[in-house]
Structure 1
Amino acid sequence: MGYRSLAVLISRYPRFIILCWVFVIGMSAVWAWKLPGIVQDHGLNLDQGDAHAVELILEKEFHVPADPVILLFEKKTGTTPAEFRGWIKDRLQQVSKLSGVTSIISPLEARGSRMLLGDVAYALLAFDVPSHKMGPPLEQLRSVLTTDGPGTIQITGKSVVQQDVNRLSFRDLERAEVVGLPLAFVILCFAFRGLYAALIAVIMGVSGVITAMGVTSLMGYHLALSNFVINVIPMVGMALSIDFALIILSRYREELQRGQNSEAAGSGDEEVLQRMLRTAGRAVFFSVACVLLGLLGLLWIRLPMFLSVSLGAIVVLVISVLLNITLLPAILSLYSVRIFRQHSRNSISSKQGQHQQSLPSRSIWSFWSGMIMKRPIRMALIGTGALLLFVLPVARLEIAIPDASSLPDRMESRQATEQIQRIFGQTNVSAVEIVIGGTGEPLTTYHWRMALSKMQELQQDSNVVAIESAWGIMVPDKMSGQAQTNIKTQMNIPSPSLSEALKETQSQQPAWLRSYVSDHSIRMVATIHGAPGSDEAASWLEQMRAKDIANSMSFIPLRYGGEAVMQHEIMQEVSGQLPKVLVFVVVSNYLVLLAAFRSLLIPIKAILMNLLSLAASFGVLVLVFNQGHFGMEPSAIAIMIPVFIAGLVFGISMDYGVFMLTRIQEVYRRTGDSDLAVQQGLASTGRLITSAAAILLAVTIPFAFADVAGVKQLGIGITAAVFIDVTIIRLVLVPALMKLMGRWNWWLPGHRE
């Protein structure tokens, strides 16, 4: 549908369009409130990886829960060890009666003997409830454990941490809306110098978010949604919807006054709508295309988090543009006089006339554009130097998979996790699960030979702290050479059948053997130096896999699992797919900008500027989080944050760039003077771009004070990227470089100007 046809449709049926949108928004609001209960965990899991396959084998064949709830017991002063053990047993018996509890690994059992250390112990609970629906079972569990006794109990585990993250994320969202919406409204009032236009823009933003959250909730019944969408949709939706509304409202008012000034025939509502859609609508269309392509690039990464967040952001983007090219023009066609009545006709006409004919000397943007045009080399050097100050720290970027440390230190689940790691020696080490077999085939002598070979290999590895297997627990570093030789001579290959092996074993209890051998798999647990996600653990895993390829039997699978393997696979997936994402986003955006501006050089310059602003925002993250400046606790940046910032901000920054370049192109086509086009384009869009960026900052800055570390990092990263883009990039480097390039800005082989 062309601009003329759309304008005719809107001007003839505005009330029908408004009623349709009211119905859609109302229905969406019903589903939007269900979104917090539909989202699942963070979505950082690779279903195609070995870690996931090992997790399924351990759960099915060895009854090791995939995401257990952990109960941390701590003895009070004056309690005897016997009383402490009896109290733990009594507590776990009560817990076993709860609905949903399928199994318990107690520290009082043989296989849980290493889970009791002095005054502290922990137990593992398995539930038959999905992790994202653990809210009610956890409340029930807490109610059972509230009784006072000879010790204290804390609850943690991945599902508990995710419940805390979901709850705090929703609270962060509510707090951000309370602060961000009024700030955005004030900025809009200043931008339009009127109340009604600002109110309409805010309504567009709220409507876009509500509708997108409703649609995303329906999507949640068919795919796993990351809990990150709770924050991403409002953040992106409010920013884009209000920005689009700001552009369209400003252009509509400009075209309305142009028609009033010219007093030309045919300048009715339909004609004004058509001109507005042909100019501002075209700019919004190309802006949406750039944002959409940036979000589509995230789909290359095969992780549920990136899929759900990308789709959620695409939904809010599409709904935002539909609202602003249909509902907003329909409202304007009916109530434009009332919306813009704060400005007298003479005042607006005078200002508009000055704007069209010449740049008013009293405008700060006219003064700024004039200064840029007089000193382009100096301003370009100053802007480049300022940008490099933020880009340099990027070399020290540290990323990690988010865990319990992403919660505030006051949270029980974080405190319990850190206490378990500290007391039970789980700091700076990783437990790697090794599974041989697991294909459903019965064990054979070949499986046992492979297991024995792997066991002997691990014994000789200096990076291995301890090994648990069917042959017992071995600590290579603490064994003398003679002791290791004795153990090797005692290790033999049992009968392939588990039942026969249980009859033959003499050194170990049958219960112990069942924890490491099933009818189809042999399990070993190697504790290695290096925390999950560390370079040391990743290097060890790569070395082991390289040795396995050279030595193992191809017909018997050998897999590695555990937290360290899961994090390593996620890191490999993200880093391996990023080049594809980057190439796709850059090439596709270049083609869109080439079609929009008919220039070879402008798209290259725009993309390079965007990449520099992104790098500078990453530098800010390094300074704030990795290095702990400005009162922040030094911490790693969640692995998804740089990717999200790149996908979201690349498109949003292109939005500002497209709008400014569109105005410059309009003047250039009209006058043929490149310098005049740059000066007038900057002067006429400076106020609007600054207002749009201020609105986005008003929406994102409150997230910088969130309780969840990932949300805080996303808020600060987007805030930094937008602030750098709208100041150093859009107001300094872009006009200075365009001045220096002159008519070459619009060069395209075979294209006549």
Structure 2
Amino acid sequence: MSTLLYRVGSGAARHPWRTFGAWLLAAVLAVGLAAGLGGSLNDNYDIPGTDSTRATSLLRDKFPDHAGATARVVLHAGSGDVAPGVAAEVSRRVAAVEHVEAVEPAAVSPDGATAVLTVRFDVPVTGVDAVATAEAFEEAAAPARDAGLATEYGGEVLDQVYEQGTAELVGFLLAGVILLAAFGSLLAAGLPLAVAGVGLAVGMALVTVTARFTDVSTIAPMIASMVGIGVGIDYALFIVSRHRQQLLDGLPVVESVGRANATAGRSVVFAGSTVLLSICGLALSGVPNFVMMGVATGICVAVCMTAAVTLLPALLGLAGTRVLPKRTRRAMAKGASPKPASTKQPLAGRWGAHAAAHPWPYAVASFLLLAILAAPVFAMQLGQSDAGSEPTSSTARRAYDLVSQGFGPGANGPLLLAVDLTKAGAPDVDTLRETVGSTPGVAAVSPVLLNEARDTAVLTVTPASGPQDEATDALVSHLRTSVGSDAVAVGGATAAFMDFNQRLQDRLYLVVGAVVGAAFLLLVLVFRSVVAPLKAALMNLLSVGAAFGAIVALFQWGWGQSFLGLDGPVPVNAFVPVFMFAILFGLSMDYEVFLLSRVREEFLRTGDSTRSVVEGLSSTGRVISSAAAIMVAVFVAFAATPTLSIKMMGVGMAVAILVDATVVRLVLVPATMVLLGSRNWWLPGWLDRVLPRADLHGGTVLVPAPRTPAKDDEPALV
């Protein structure tokens, strides 16, 4: 791997325009495919084996009029009543929107101030372009606005319309400030941003192409952007940092780029592969829509990783020594040493020496702090936020509130009972309606609707509680046990979200076990130790636990509602902890490998555990701190978005990286490694004999091979 990366890096630096041409061709192809073949983003909550999916499948086959997606147009008069003529005109115009099959007669609230038009589509939610539909509804509702009515839009199709652009831009700007402070060179700071930007653009184009062939969630691009920007900049940072150090050591530009790509670039490949491996654990969730979020993120991570080891070397070759500050370049031109004359140990090294001198107090204190931060996890309540959790600036939230005020909270989350009358033991539908109507927690039951063949019936059940209320979950469970059978299935969006949450909760431990196990085995291979990987896995679990604790306190308990822009406590989205765990475990392993590889290298050289820890922190502390600061800045930028699930992930991942780079890497890791001493690297003899040799952290040093007629430019490993 080192030889290959050396050749790629030095070749790109020596012939940068060839690399640019290849990337330009790749970008044009990706964008062209996205424009010509790209599909639209859709939310598909079908989960094999669940009751809600069984209900949906029955309706698609036997009752297509009620199997398509739904949306709502809400008209509200501040004072007085909604004029029937206006509602009828809006209904007529909405009926002309693409894929709209029918618009039900306006339901008017008892006070006459609110009218709701329920819109049924002839395709499932996966076949509706939510953004285009929202714009079409806005245009169709013009007569209502002209009449002085407030018009809001929501429902299954329009509740989850995500906008991109602002968070990405803010993330790039914050990362640029940090890079400029770290490098002291505008050009050096700009290179990681350029590489991450190109990688993200190509990656998102490929995600759009993927959406043509399978369902990609509407939220997937934002999650992929958040992670892709962070890792793209960090991976480029590692290589640029190594290259700058080698230039200061006197290496020529092309040779330095080749070596940086062979060493730091190899770490990048390992880091990216670790993240991808962790994302693969999401395949065990059993939720196709959720798995595709991981696929979209994995595409962006893979492209950014590739750009870091191919495109970046070409940029570094063109930049030459300009990646160094002007003052340093002037000193080099005058023949003076470009390195600072001071021999003072870096701050991270001085701190490492202090922590190593007092390992027990710091180990105990840091562990207790992490345990306190993670304690709220035991009170976590997984749920599914809906439009009622969105900020009041959202039209979906305003529509939700108007429906709740006019018709009751349960009107925002009706349930569907799908009855297959051909099944043995199918109930009498009129008796079923009476039974369900008398069930505690049910506000209303619609008249029975039969399909043309009269072999399938549908009843719409309006709960007395809102979609997020625990009472609604209890009602769904009660209906499934009391009236559910092979012939009766309980579905609808609320029931589907409930099944989505339950499936993720049931598979959470399977995903966690797979991710932790795979990462542990990978670290055993890298460091040829059992103790260090086990300790790394436990510490990563603590940092992730601290992030989960912060989410519970800030969102579920409402401690952060004032500065997070929340109206009150909200449930923790069920997919957030599972997805965060897979991503964060991969990212924290990056820092772990970067630090431990340097510690192990020093330990093998000296055999001194304490000194190896201090030297490891001293040599990697600045880079890890800069990389972590960039990650935190990017995640904070996304935490400022109004979309609740993105905000939740941004906050949680920012906290996790901050805790991991400070409490864990600077305190707990050095303290415990000093206490364990040489036992950090213990490996059973039998395992040492069967494990293949690997140098995945890029520790192999490359030098140019002697020039011979047969192999003019081959590097050699020594």
Q: For this structure pair, what is the TM-score category when the shorter chain's length is used for normalisation?
A: 0.7 to 0.9
CA distance in 2, matches of 1:693, 1:6: 25
- String of CA shifts for 1:691-750, please: whole Å, max 9, x gaps: 001111222212121121222112111111111111101111011110110000111111
Equivalent pair of 1:7/1:270 in contact (CA under 8 Å): no
Equivalent in 47, 63, 66 of residue 64 of structure 1: 66
- Is 2:591 the partner of 1:656? yes
Shift of 1:45: 4.3
- Is 2:386 the partner of 1:403? yes
Q: 1:147 corresponds to which residue? A: 143
Shift of 1:142: 3.0
CA distance in 2, matches of 1:222, 1:193: 46
- Larger mean Cα displacement after TM superposition, 574-583 or 139-148: 139-148
- String of CA shifts for 1:322-349, please: whole Å, max 9, x gaps: 1222222344345443333642447766
Decide whether aligned partners of structure 1 residues 432 and 19 sit closer, same or farther in structure 2, where only a CA change above 3 A counts.
closer
CA distance in 1, matches of 2:103, 2:411: 27
CA distance in 2, matches of 1:43, 1:456: 32
Q: Please show how residues 84-95 of structure 1 align to structure 2 within 5 Å.
A: 84-95=83-94
CA distance in 2, matches of 1:134, 1:269: 50
- String of CA shifts for 1:32-81, please: whole Å, max 9, x gaps: 7899x9442444443653323423544652733643232323456466x9
Q: Please show how residues 232-247 of structure 1 align to structure 2 within 5 Å.
A: 232-247=223-238
Q: 2:530 corresponds to which residue? A: 600
- Is 2:374 the partner of 1:391? yes
Decide whether aligned partners of structure 1 residues 706 and 192 sit closer, same or farther in structure 2, where only a CA change above 3 A counts.
same
Shift of 1:21: 1.9
Q: 2:25 corresponds to which residue? A: 23
Q: Which amino acid aligns with 2:407?
A: F
- Is 2:245 the partner of 1:254? yes
CA distance in 2, matches of 1:7, 1:151: 68
Q: 1:303 corresponds to which residue? A: 287
Equivalent pair of 1:69/1:155 in contact (CA under 8 Å): no
CA distance in 1, matches of 2:280, 2:521: 15
Give secondary structure in 1 for the equivalent of 2:544.
Answer: helix
- String of CA shifts for 1:122-168, please: whole Å, max 9, x gaps: 222223466542444543443343225767252423355346x32xx
Q: 1:325 corresponds to which residue? A: 309
Shift of 1:530: 4.4
Query: Structure 1, unaligned stretches of length 5 or more?
Result: 261-266, 355-359, 471-513
Decide whether aligned partners of structure 1 residues 468 and 207 sit closer, same or farther in structure 2, where only a CA change above 3 A counts.
closer
Decide whether aligned partners of structure 1 residues 718 and 39 sit closer, same or farther in structure 2, where only a CA change above 3 A counts.
farther
Q: Please show how residues 174-573 of structure 1 align to structure 2 within 5 Å.
A: 174-258=165-249, 260=250, 272=256, 275-333=259-317, 335-340=319-324, 342=326, 343=328, 344-345=331-332, 350-351=339-340, 360-427=343-410, 431-437=414-420, 441=422, 446-449=425-428, 451=429, 454=432, 458=436, 461-470=439-448, 514-515=449-450, 519-528=454-463, 530-546=465-481, 557-573=487-503
Q: Which amino acid aligns with 1:368?
A: W
Give secondary structure in 1 for the equivalent of 2:74.
Answer: strand
Equivalent pair of 2:154/2:395 in contact (CA under 8 Å): no
Q: 2:679 corresponds to which residue? A: 744
Decide whether aligned partners of structure 1 residues 185 and 7 sit closer, same or farther in structure 2, where only a CA change above 3 A counts.
same
Report the aligned-residue RMSD.
3.3
| Larger CA Rg, structure 1 vs 2 | 1
Equivalent in 674, 679, 684 of residue 609 of structure 2: 674
Shift of 1:321: 1.8
Equivalent pair of 2:172/2:634 in contact (CA under 8 Å): yes
Shift of 1:10: 4.0
Shift of 1:607: 1.0
- Larger mean Cα displacement after TM superposition, 50-59 or 665-674: 50-59
CA distance in 2, matches of 1:580, 1:738: 30
Q: Which amino acid aligns with 1:326?
A: T
Decide whether aligned partners of structure 1 residues 303 and 54 sit closer, same or farther in structure 2, where only a CA change above 3 A counts.
same
Q: Which amino acid aligns with 2:170?
A: V
Equivalent pair of 2:442/2:463 in contact (CA under 8 Å): yes
CA distance in 1, matches of 2:627, 2:185: 16
Identity, % of aligned positions: 27
Equivalent pair of 2:511/2:578 in contact (CA under 8 Å): no
- Larger mean Cα displacement after TM superposition, 593-602 or 203-212: 203-212
CA distance in 2, matches of 1:464, 1:176: 42
Q: 1:625 corresponds to which residue? A: 555
Give the aligned length.
671
Equivalent pair of 2:362/2:668 in contact (CA under 8 Å): yes
Shift of 1:690: 0.5
Q: Which amino acid aligns with 1:191?
A: A
Decide whether aligned partners of structure 1 residues 117 and 52 sit closer, same or farther in structure 2, where only a CA change above 3 A counts.
farther
Decide whether aligned partners of structure 1 residues 578 and 448 sit closer, same or farther in structure 2, where only a CA change above 3 A counts.
closer
CA distance in 2, matches of 1:94, 1:250: 60
Shift of 1:689: 0.5
- String of CA shifts for 1:552-606, please: whole Å, max 9, x gaps: 6xxx532111233212211111111111111110110001101111110111111
CA distance in 1, matches of 2:672, 2:583: 25
CA distance in 1, matches of 2:572, 2:311: 40
Shift of 1:320: 1.8
Q: 2:701 corresponds to which residue? A: none
Shift of 1:86: 4.2
Decide whether aligned partners of structure 1 residues 68 and 542 sit closer, same or farther in structure 2, where only a CA change above 3 A counts.
closer
CA distance in 2, matches of 1:152, 1:45: 36
Equivalent pair of 1:533/1:568 in contact (CA under 8 Å): no
- Is 2:158 the partner of 1:161? yes
Equivalent in 685, 698, 709 of residue 633 of structure 2: 698
CA distance in 1, matches of 2:117, 2:653: 41
Decide whether aligned partners of structure 1 residues 612 and 421 sit closer, same or farther in structure 2, where only a CA change above 3 A counts.
same
Q: Which amino acid aligns with 1:674?
A: S
CA distance in 1, matches of 2:34, 2:174: 23
Decide whether aligned partners of structure 1 residues 133 and 252 sit closer, same or farther in structure 2, where only a CA change above 3 A counts.
same
Decide whether aligned partners of structure 1 residues 600 and 162 sit closer, same or farther in structure 2, where only a CA change above 3 A counts.
same
Q: Which amino acid aligns with 2:183?
A: F
Q: 1:585 corresponds to which residue? A: 515
Q: 2:700 corresponds to which residue? A: none
Equivalent pair of 1:431/1:525 in contact (CA under 8 Å): yes
Give secondary structure in 2 for the equivalent of 1:707.
Answer: coil
CA distance in 2, matches of 1:47, 1:642: 22
Give secondary structure in 1 for the equivalent of 2:627.
Answer: helix
Decide whether aligned partners of structure 1 residues 122 and 179 sit closer, same or farther in structure 2, where only a CA change above 3 A counts.
closer
Q: Which amino acid aligns with 1:324?
A: A
Decide whether aligned partners of structure 1 residues 380 and 31 sit closer, same or farther in structure 2, where only a CA change above 3 A counts.
farther
CA distance in 2, matches of 1:406, 1:176: 20
- Is 2:118 the partner of 1:124? yes
Give secondary structure in 2 for the equivalent of 1:123.
Answer: strand
Decide whether aligned partners of structure 1 residues 403 and 518 sit closer, same or farther in structure 2, where only a CA change above 3 A counts.
farther
Shift of 1:89: 3.5
Q: 1:721 corresponds to which residue? A: 656
Equivalent in 733, 736, 745 of residue 668 of structure 2: 733
